[in-house]
Amino acid sequence: MLRADDSRTATDQGMITIAAVQFNPVQGQPKRNRARMVEQLAEAAVSGARLIVFPEMAASGYVWENRAEIKPFVETIPGPTTDALLAVTSRCDCYAVVGLPELDPGTGIYYNSAALIGPNGVIGVYRKTHLFADDPRWAREGNDGIRVFQTPIGNIAMLICMDAMYFEPSRIAALQDADIVAFPTNWVGGGNNPPSKTWCLRAWENGVYWIAANRSDQERGAQFTGGSGIIGPDGEVQQSQMSGEGIVYGKIPAIMQSSSARRRQLLETRRPQAYHDILLHPYLWKEGQTRQIPSPENFTIALLPYEQGEGLSIDRLIEELSELESMNPLSSNRLIVLSQVEFEPQQIAREAVLNRLVEQCALSGSFLVVTLSDTGTEHADCVNCYLIGPEGLVGHVSTVHASFENTEGEPSFRTFELPFGRVGLLTAQDAGYPESYRVLAKQGADIIAVSCNGHEPGKAWMRKIWAFENDAVLAIAAPPQTPENLLFLHRQVHREGAIPAGEVFNATFGAEQLTVARSRPFMRRLKTHLYESLIRTEQGGSER
């Protein structure tokens, strides 16, 4: 934790005003841009804002061809832009975050950076670690990690634009007890939009306030989406502005007790000992360079949302499976994901349920994913998820993020090779953690299958983002009346919601779809050398 020069402490029991400035700089005119930012910073401060965030590269504009072109506009920190804003922060006793092209005077290296300025000067600098399309033409990736700065209004981390497309940077900040993520961005898209769901997800995952400052104009063909906003720790947008320029205001507690408590609850349930695969980088090279791998084949996935009622009728369950299989009898590569099945050991043993399901898969030639829950246990998350095939039980996983200590040893994530692809299994509880999806993707999962009861943490839109971020097919089966049923492959397959009686969510996937997914274009850009804190079992001040 880096401590600000300002030694005052916040004692006000009320709320603090914060602000995001939607600001459209003029490319190559830093003096004009600074003058306009000074005006907007002063306006926000006079309106009561204590922390004001400007967009990425607000001093210079964003799209540059090379080092030579941007050279006249790079600057040191402290430097002209931070000095200009300091004149306001010192006078108004506030804090500002601004994005700019930084020059390291000792090396001559350029960075896409953000600076945190307080009443007494520059408190800290962050250099963007996950670069976007045009950044690598002139900027080097930041290698100083993700730091959190202690101020009287809260612990502040800075991230920039593309950093939010990966869960790891904001998680690292939260593990250092960040209360606020100041987020300068030049988010691009097809037009002006509300705040990105990705930003909302990063806030929800970590229990932090997220202050996103974006542009809304165009520059050299790049369309910036606007949608600057203040997002709470629950992932809900307080205020936002979709288009044009302006200042968006929001509120945070003067003392972060409630948000800190929720963040601690979120982070304490993590299981770092199961996350070591996150540090691997298996997609730097095309798979198959040194060993043979099975080629993907066409396959069908179907969701079976079983309406259980009181007690388990294994005969009715087998009947519903048979009916589903008869709808598509010619599919030789078929994966059925069944919603979670609860049983009472006094009425039927787990082994008896498994044996009947194994028999059915042997008859039909299908593969089946199902979670079995013992209603006799005191722990609701004491469940096992099974993968069954025509030749018997393929394997199973236990809940990794369980609320109790597993007497059978430390549960781990597992991915299984089937004739048509690789399947990773998640229980309902594990499906609420971004680490779960990343580990399975690092293990090579083409399909992530979740058999759940409809009470898993989070919402369907969150899980779609996690699937997209990991280039995977996501198949979630829940009870039929719940909205959690989901069959999803980004921009190709999307079936979601409650499943009416007599209907089925299914889709056939071509081998070429998995070929694209297996290249993991999104995951190639991960910066695994920065992620070691994600696997530490203890997070202490000495490690921050």
- Could you list the active site residues? 56, 128, 161
Consecutive H or E run containing 67? helix 67-70
Tokens representing residue 443 in the block: 């293990």
- DSSP E strands: which ranges in 360-446? 367-374, 383-389, 392-398, 415-418, 421-426
Of 182, 159, 181, 213, nearest to 40 by C-alpha is 213
Helical packing angle, 350-364 and 314-326, nearest 10°? 20
Name 198's Cβ contacts closer than 8 Å, sequence gap at least 6: 164, 165, 465
State how far the Cα of 170 lies from the Cα of 239, in Å rounded to an integer. Answer: 21
Rg (CA), the chain: 25
State how far the Cα of 140 lies from the Cα of 111, in Å rounded to an integer. Answer: 6
State how far the Cα of 392 lies from the Cα of 358, in Å rounded to an integer. Answer: 5
State how far the Cα of 213 lies from the Cα of 161, in Å rounded to an integer. Answer: 10
**What is the CA angle 251-255-257, rounded to 5?**
105
**In this structure, what are the phi and psi dihedrals at residue 436, rounded to the nearest 5 degrees?**
-60, -45
Tokens representing residue 221 in the block: 């063909």
Place of tokens 């970590």: 206
Residues in a beta bridge with 102: 75, 111
Could you tell me the maximum CA-CA distance found in the chain, to the nearest angstrom? 78
Residue 186 CA, chain-centre distance (Å), reads 18
- Which 3 state secondary structure label does DSSP give 146? coil
Q: Residue 470 to residues 266, 283, 457: CA-CA distances in angstroms?
A: 22, 12, 19
Tokens representing residue 515 in the block: 């070929």
Residue 32 CA, chain-centre distance (Å), reads 36
State how far the Cα of 123 lies from the Cα of 5, in Å rounded to an integer. Answer: 7
